[in-house]
Chains A and B, each alone.
Chain A
Amino acid sequence: MTSDGARMILEGELTIYSVSQHFEEWREIMSNAIAQKLLSVDIDTQEVVDIDSAGVQLLAYFSERATQSGITVNWSAPSDAVARAQQRYQMENWFAPLSEAIV
């Protein structure tokens, strides 16, 4: 794993019921990252067991907002649930894919 960045770990359910909470965590991590002038953020979705469209939307938002702030997102390998969701929306390439080396 790259170590020069902040790290966000998503676990369990990433659904409408939890997106607000995850969003708050994200804001905190992002404001720290910006304050410390970090270049990248790791987002780990390996332990996500359930994700709905609100969850996918949140990941898309993370990606877009980070890019706008000039921060690279290093995505972990997706969990099965996340992979399936990406596949359903044909978003496999949406989240900048991780190189094999990192996984």
Chain B
Amino acid sequence: MSAMFEALQTFMAEARALLEDMELNLLSLEQQPDDKEAINAVFRAAHTIKGSAGLFGLDEIVNFTHHAETLLDQIRDGKVRFTNDLIGLFLECGDHIGHLLTNADQGRTSDATLQANAQRLVSLLCGALHHSSSVSENHKANTTAHYSSADMAVRGEHIWNINIAFGIDTYRNGMDPDSFVQYLRTLGQVSVSAKFQFPDSDRDFDPESCYVTLHIQYVGEATEETLHSVFEFVRDDAELSITRVDNQQQESIESNTQDVLLANGNDPRQTSGSTTQLIRIHADKLDALITLVGELVTTSAGVGLLAARHHDAALMEATSDAARLIEDIRESAMRLRMVEIGETFNRFRRVVRDVAKELGKTISLDITGADTELDKSVVERIGDPLTHLIRNAIDHGIEAHEVRVAAGKPESGTLKLNAFHESGGIIIEVVDDGAGLNTQKILAKAIEKGLVSHDASLSEEAIAQLIFEPGFSTSDHISNISGRGVGMDVVKRNIEALRGSITIDSMPGLGTTFRIRLPLTLAIIDGFLMSVGDANYVLPLELMQECVELPVQEVSETGRSYINLRGEVLPLIKMREYFALERGSARRENVLVVRFGMKKVGLVVDDLKGELQTVIKPLGPLFKQLRGVSGSTILGTGEVALMLDVAALLDDIAQFVNERG
């Protein structure tokens, strides 16, 4: 049972990956409808999903995908042209298969809506098939090419004879011998003849049993291993024999092929390697490993402390070596969880296409920095907020054709998704070249909704921030896409839950940039330890710019809350006052200069204790309301240090300054 369950989970994950792959290829086909590789890839995705679904008895998926596969087959043979309508249809089919997968995963069957949708799609698929099936004949002639073995050797091609007697239950398992042949056709030239071994009387004949033996001649580059893998789904029941019929000896061929392939820069070991380089690991196991590494980091800090106390040079050296190795382990462990954001970005191609189509806008999506890596858990949770931002940008940001043309802009709008690393975090930008935020309108709306008072004088930036207030929406009409007034506040909340922040840059007439800043990971950070009175605090190291001594003469006890830092005004937050701590006995105070986004602030603390690696533990629900602190960590000495929430500190000081005028 559990093995079956695991296998099913693997199938689900693979099928979803295949669907994503299919979608990407379809979208690229929209630009280049004749891309053979992409067409083959779409076909293979459908074929594989169907084949694996059959193994799990997911008849609904098999049945539905079969129709899509049939049409794709025709497209691949050049009998049907891939029009944009068809691409739209296949995108819908992909979505439908996705729904079926979700249902199968949760052990549900289709409801009426889903069934109706399936029927509609199938009839569209069949319609497309018949519509164009009559053009087929003239394509047939050139499929049988003549091969000289010299040509073939150069191309690394060989002739293989494949005999396969399918198992009696092949059809019942949801498989069709023909689909394997079709798949084989994607790998080279194929000719097939079928033989049937029927029982002697009607009584023994079961039309649902499979009596087919195929004799296949295959010419192409595929290796024996690849050919075997084609029949992987039926290998257990079928009798399969695959033999080379080239006129050379097996061994010498092996090395020859290899040489030829290598000469072509087409090393088979590499191609097969690319599939085996990936190992599927359960996320729980990774999390457990990372927790352990976290504990190791803490322990190592404790050992280092002890060693320092003993003043034993050899011991200190040994512990510092160990600490360095642990640092490496930590980094590689963290990297295991890192995934490229590109996959998430690619999902938005579809969102942009669909939303733009619905609104009758032409919009191109530019993606940069797709290889930027960040923690898997962050990637998973950033998808929804990003989707919302993108929908908003298309709906509200980018203007209608006529408006754009009148404003002297290109008719088609551009949406940019960009990701890059910056000082220990990752920045994700959603940039549109639309009209920019209408601050007048936003302010008017905010006043109308009672979010700000009539006489409030707000900076442009502050007005822009208002769109993140709960229940705010400026669109005059409510559209399907966005504009229900739910969302932007949720977007902000989701991002803040990831210890991130979001800012808006808007230029009237030129467009809007949403900039999301996220930490790379949620678990372990490089921190900087300091103390105020008896309490220890940790700050993410990447936010720190520098430390300076607090010039006593410049800041009197009650007076100014800023200093002159090399000609720049640096606002200060006195941590002692902020956390309402008792006066300590520190001889002098220090200023930690912290940068967060575009803002800079100085934190006034007692002692600076240096860098450390630290595992962040969340605070209990009891402390949820606590401002300025985002977590805790246990030091090597066993003491607890609190993690400062710089974003909240900065907000507070901004508010404080505002209130004072």
The residues of A with any CB-CB pair to B shorter than 8 Å are 16-17, 19-20, 22-23, 27, 49-50, 52-54, 56-58, 60-61, 64-65, 80-81, 84-85, 87-91
Can you name 7 A-B residue pairings with CB atoms under 8 Å? A17-B63, A50-B67, A57-B211, A65-B198, A88-B182, A89-B194, A90-B191
Taking a contact as CB atoms under 8 Å apart, the answer to whether B126 and A54 are in contact is no
B66: Cβ under 8 A from any A Cβ: yes
Taking a contact as CB atoms under 8 Å apart, the answer to whether B171 and A61 are in contact is no
B656: Cβ under 8 A from any A Cβ: no
CA gap between A63 and B298 in the complex, in Å: 78
Given contacts A27-B202, A61-B198, A64-B196, contact A89 B178 (CB under 8 A): yes
Which residues in chain B, 18-65, are within 8 Å of chain A measured between CB atoms?
63
Question: Which residues in A have their C-beta under 8 angstroms from that of B212?
Answer: 53, 57
Q: Which of A20, A65, A81, A90 contacts B192 (CB 8 A)?
A: A90
Beyond known contacts A61-B205, A64-B196: 6 more, CB 8 A cutoff: A16-B176, A20-B207, A22-B207, A54-B171, A60-B196, A88-B178
Write out, one digit per residue, whether chain B residues 112-135 have a CB within 8 A of any chain A CB (1) or not (0).
000000000000001001100110
Taking a contact as CB atoms under 8 Å apart, the answer to whether B207 and A54 are in contact is yes
Taking a contact as CB atoms under 8 Å apart, the answer to whether B198 and A80 are in contact is no
Taking a contact as CB atoms under 8 Å apart, the answer to whether B70 and A88 are in contact is no
- B interface SS class: mixed
Taking a contact as CB atoms under 8 Å apart, the answer to whether B191 and A65 are in contact is no
Question: Which residues in B have their C-beta under 8 angstroms from that of A65?
Answer: 198, 202
- Distance from B303 Cβ to chain A, minimum over Cβ atoms (Å): 67
The residues of B with any CB-CB pair to A shorter than 8 Å are 63, 66-67, 70, 126, 129-130, 133-134, 136, 140, 171-172, 176-178, 181-182, 191-194, 196, 198, 202, 205-208, 210-212
The 7 A-B pairs with the shortest beta carbon distances in the complex, nearest first, are A19-B207, A80-B133, A23-B207, A89-B194, A16-B171, A54-B171, A53-B178
- A interface SS class: helix
Question: Which residues in B have their C-beta under 8 angstroms from that of A61?
Answer: 196, 198, 205, 207
Across the two chains, which residue of chain A brings its CB closest to B63?
Answer: A17
Question: Which residues in A have their C-beta under 8 angstroms from that of B133?
Answer: 80-81, 84
Question: Which residues in B have their C-beta under 8 angstroms from that of A50?
Answer: 67, 70, 126
Across the two chains, which residue of chain A brings its CB closest to B62?
Answer: A16
Taking a contact as CB atoms under 8 Å apart, the answer to whether A89 and B208 are in contact is no
CA gap between A96 and B173 in the complex, in Å: 31
Taking a contact as CB atoms under 8 Å apart, the answer to whether B207 and A58 are in contact is yes
Q: Which of A19, A56, A84, A90 contacts B208 (CB 8 A)?
A: A19
CA gap between A88 and B76 in the complex, in Å: 14
Given contacts A80-B130, A90-B191, A91-B194, contact A53 B171 (CB under 8 A): yes
Taking a contact as CB atoms under 8 Å apart, the answer to whether A64 and B198 are in contact is yes
- Distance from A103 Cβ to chain B, minimum over Cβ atoms (Å): 16
Question: Which residues in A have their C-beta under 8 angstroms from that of B211?
Answer: 57
Looking at A53, A56, A91, which has the most chain B CB atoms within 10 Å of its CB? A53
Taking a contact as CB atoms under 8 Å apart, the answer to whether A89 and B193 are in contact is yes
Question: Which residues in B have their C-beta under 8 angstroms from that of A57?
Answer: 196, 207, 210-212
Given contacts A49-B130, A84-B133, contact A54 B196 (CB under 8 A): no
CA gap between A16 and B63 in the complex, in Å: 10
- Distance from A3 Cβ to chain B, minimum over Cβ atoms (Å): 26
Taking a contact as CB atoms under 8 Å apart, the answer to whether B210 and A90 are in contact is no
Question: Which residues in A have their C-beta under 8 angstroms from that of B70?
Answer: 50
Across the two chains, which residue of chain A brings its CB closest to B174?
Answer: A16
CA gap between A20 and B67 in the complex, in Å: 20
- Distance from B233 Cβ to chain A, minimum over Cβ atoms (Å): 14
Q: Which of B136, B194, B202 contacts A56 (CB 8 A)?
A: B194
